[in-house]
Amino acid sequence: MNIKVRPATADDAADVCRVIRKSILECCYEDHRGDVKVIQGWLSNKTHEVLRRFILAPDAFSVIASVDKATVGFGLASGTGEVALCYVAPSVRFTGVGKALLAAIEDHAVRSGVEALRLKSTRTAKAFYLRNGFVPEGSPVFAFGIEGLPMRKGLSARG
pLDDT digits (tens, 9 = 90+) for 71-96: 999 999 999 999 999 999 999 999 99
B/e letters for 45-66, b = 16+ CB within 10 Å, e = fewer, are ebeeeebbebbeeeebbbbbbb
The span from the first CA to the last CA of the chain, in angstroms, equals: 29
Angle subtended at Cα 22 by Cα 75 and Cα 54, rounded to the nearest 5 degrees: 35
Whole-number mean pLDDT of the chain? Answer: 94
Angle subtended at Cα 150 by Cα 12 and Cα 37, rounded to the nearest 5 degrees: 65
- Give residue-wise pLDDT tens across range 16-30: 999 999 999 999 999
**pLDDT beyond 50 at 70:** yes
Q: How far is CA 76 from CA 39, 66, 99, 115, in A?
A: 21, 15, 13, 17
Alpha-helix residue ranges (DSSP H) falling in the chain: 13-27, 29-32, 36-43, 48-56, 97-111, 123-131
**pLDDT beyond 60 at 115:** yes
For residue 159, what pLDDT band results from cuts at 50, 70 and 90?
Answer: very low
Q: Which domains does the chain have, with CATH numbers?
A: 3-115 (3.40.630.30)
